[in-house]
Every structure is written in C-alpha cells, then in structure tokens.
Amino acid sequence: MGLNVLRIPARYYRLYLEEKPYGCNERDFHYVEEVLKIPLSEAALVLVDCWSIHYCESWTSRARGIVEDKIVPVVNAARKVGLTIIHAPSSAVAEKYPQSAKYFEAGDEEKGPRYASVDPEWPPKDFVGRKGEYLEFNRTTGPPPETWREIYKKYMMIAEPLTPRPEDYIVRSGSQLHKVLKNLKKLHLFYAGFATNMCLQHRDYGMKAMGERGYNLVLLSDCTTAVETHDTVDQLLTTKVSVQEIEMKYAWSTTSSEFIKACG
C-alpha cells in the first residue's frame, strides 16, 4: 500500500505565552512543535530560484553545496512518493523551459517582490524611479545590470542537479503558481530555495505572497541560505534570523532529514 499521508515533525515561533497572552515579555516567546499530518495528494514541493549561476561567488558556493547535499535528496525522496514538484526560478529563467507555458495566460507576468500599489499621480514618477533631480536618493545595492544582464540571459538556468523532468511544473509567477495549485487541488507547500531573506520570502511566488493566499507553508530550514553581510557571513546570522522570521510570520519549519524520513 502506497504512502497517503506525510507525518512530519514541524515547528513555528509563538510571540506570546499561552497562560499569559497579555503582559508577557520577549523572553517568554517560544517554539511550538507538532507532528503535521499532510495528505500527499494535497501537497507540493516548491523550489524557489535554484539558479545555476550568481554574481556573488561565496554565496554561489554555499548555495551549490545546499542544492547538492540537501535539496537533491529531498527532491529524490519526493519523486519516490509521487509528490508534485514545482520549480519557480523567476520568469526570465522559467520561460526557457517548455513546461512553463502550462496554465500561463496573459496577465500572469511575474510581479517580482510584492510591493504596495504605486499611485500614478503621487509621488512623481521620476521620484519613484529615483531619476533626474531625484537621482541622489537612489540606493545601488547590487552590481550594475550591464555587468550581468547578458550573462544571466544566456547562461542562467535551473541548477543542473535539479534539472526539471517532463512531469514537473515550472511557473513564471505567483498567479501561475496559484493556477497550478488550484487545478491540482494542492493546499500544503513545502518550500526550499534561495535566498532566505530575499526571493524565498518576497517574490510573488514566495512564502509571504502564498501565505497571504491562504496556503499552509512548511519551510525546509536547512534547504536555504540568505545573502549575508560582511559582519554576519562567518556565523550565517542573517540566515538564522530570516528562518526565524519565517517561523514567526508565515510558516511551519522542518528539516530535510525529517522530510526524507516522512517520505520513507
């Protein structure tokens, strides 16, 4: 008899004390642990921005190790039990694969990170874009697009160890992901991918947006890493804080080993 239910230990972070919900302090905050019983037919594994290249060499090396050591075994376990696998690698990468045309319609273009709607009248358009007389307020946090745009366009793919199979789904946007999930009647999403403090949370197919749509989310906490800073990279502090933020706001979490065991 095949596996019907994934029984998987998971946790989230609670910001109050049950016996004293008002008047507690931060030292009272704590993890809540449960064994989730997730019907296999209602679940999917979502792989966010598992790219083959990136401009930052140290981050690329760390992410590649996670793909090979953690995410690939998770995907293999998921395939063995017939769990639906969905790749969400950004629209520019997704459209390189024929599977991304399924359920994609006009209006499903990727919205990128979820921002509030911009009023076309105010602030002024040049101010919103930090152009012209407002250029001095622009913040340049990444390398200029001209240094990477053509390289990404030509060479960026889904990381080779995770090359999609014909039966996998590939989505270009959150709207398309929702259509896939609606058609397949999926309610529970296991998330893995990159980066913990950026796309994994804030893409329109990321955890924040899909949580707002009402899906039950479970982060595979060792299947991700953040983009760190010079004073956090040695201890991976940004990754740790980002995982905890997800556990506070959006999702349960578990580990790759617990996931694989549940699939066993």
Rounded to whole angstroms, the Cα distance separating 70 from 256 reads 6
pLDDT, position 1: 53
Rounded to whole angstroms, the Cα distance separating 177 from 156 reads 21
Rounded to whole angstroms, the Cα distance separating 103 from 171 reads 9
pLDDT tens for the chain, 264 residues: list them.
578 999 999 999 999 998 888 988 999 999 999 999 999 999 999 999 999 999 999 999 999 999 999 999 999 999 999 999 999 999 999 999 999 999 998 888 887 665 567 888 999 999 999 999 999 999 999 999 899 999 999 999 999 999 999 999 999 999 999 999 999 999 999 999 999 999 999 999 999 999 999 999 999 999 999 999 999 999 999 999 999 999 999 999 999 999 999 999
Cβ-based burial of 203 (10 A; exposed 0-12, middle 13-18, buried ≥19): buried
pLDDT, position 166: 96
pLDDT, position 113: 66
What phi-psi label fits residue 85: left (phi over 0), alpha (psi between -120 and 50 degrees) or beta? Answer: beta
Rounded to whole angstroms, the Cα distance separating 226 from 49 reads 12
What residues have CB less than 8 Å from 245, skipping those under 6 apart?
201
- Strand boundaries in 40-187, DSSP class E: 43-48, 84-88, 169-170
pLDDT, position 203: 95
SS3 assignment, position 5: strand
Q: pTM here?
A: 0.95
pLDDT, position 127: 95
Query: Which among 218, 252, 107 is positioned nearest to 173, based on CA atoms?
Result: 107
Tokens of 230: 């010079």
Query: Which among 131, 138, 250, 137 is positioned nearest to 201, based on CA atoms?
Result: 250
Beta-strand relationship, 252-254 and 43-48: unpaired
Query: Which among 37, 2, 9, 80 is positioned nearest to 188, based on CA atoms?
Result: 37
What phi-psi label fits residue 49: left (phi over 0), alpha (psi between -120 and 50 degrees) or beta? Answer: left
Do the beta carbons of residue 215 and residue 250 sit within 8 Å?
no
pLDDT, position 151: 95
pLDDT, position 19: 86
Q: What is the DSSP letter of 40?
A: G
Crossing angle of helices 72-80 and 256-263, in 10° steps, is 20
Query: Which among 142, 162, 157 is positioned nearest to 55, based on CA atoms?
Result: 142
SS3 assignment, position 88: strand
Beta-strand relationship, 216-220 and 169-170: unpaired
pLDDT, position 115: 55
pLDDT, position 21: 85
Cis preceding-peptide flag for 159 (omega within 30 of 0): no
